[in-house]
Every structure is written in structure tokens, then in C-alpha cells.
Amino acid sequence: QKEVEQNSGPLSVPEGAIASLNCTYSDRGSQSFFWYRQYSGKSPELIMSIYSNGDKEDGRFTAQLNKASQYVSLLIRDSQPSDSATYLCAVDNYGQNFVFGPGTRLSVLP
């Protein structure tokens, strides 16, 4: 059974700070990794994807991947109260579907 682990939080950061969200996965053969944001009572929204080791930046978001350590992270720079949500890590299951982590709840304090 493939597993994706995340700290459930809540992770609290002050407005303007960097929020760091972490995810580990069990299957060394996983090829692609996605981050979703989910506001309370709503459906998940895609933030970004990453496929290769290293960093990938998109605006205030940076995804980091280390396949050797089976670790993927999401950094949010200049955090805003509107970033307060649950962040879901999703790992590709050999092209069939995605396995999701339990999510990390982020709270950005004004």
C-alpha cells in the first residue's frame, strides 16, 4: 500500500513569513508530485507540480523534490491570511491515479 505522509498541523505562521510544508512518500518509483490547496468545505485546487529533483518556482510558491530521500516540500513566501487552508500532497501512482496525503492545515496570522 503506497503511503503519503504529511504533518497534520496546524502550522501557524505570521503574515509575511515563509511557510514550509513537507511530504514524504513510500514508493521510490513515483514519478510526479502535485500540491493542492483546499479551503474549508471546498474542493482542492491545483497549485503546482514537480517531476525532477531540485526546486521549481511559481510566483510565491516553490516546490522542492528530493527523490533519494523520498521527500517533497512546498514553500510559500510572503504568506498572506488568504493562504490559510489545508495543503494536500499528491503522488502519482504509476500513471493510474494519485495517492493523497492527509493534508497540512496552515494558518497565517495577521
Partner 1 sequence: DGGITQSPKYLFRKEGQNVTLSCEQNLNHDAMYWYRQDPGQGLRLIYYSQIVNDFQKGDIAEGYSVSREKKESFPLTVTSAQKNPTAFYLCASSIDRSTTNYGYTFGSGTRLTVV
Tell me whether residue 36 or residue 62 sits nearer to partner 1 (CB atom): 36
Cα–Cα dist 65/79, whole Å: 21
101 is an interface residue for partner 1 by CB under 8 A:
yes
88 is an interface residue for partner 1 by CB under 8 A:
yes
Least spacing, CB of residue 31 vs partner 1, in Å: 5
1 is an interface residue for partner 1 by CB under 8 A:
yes
46 is an interface residue for partner 1 by CB under 8 A:
yes
CB burial of 37-65 (b: ≥16 within 10 Å; e: otherwise) equals beeeeeebeebbebeeeeeeeeeebbbbb
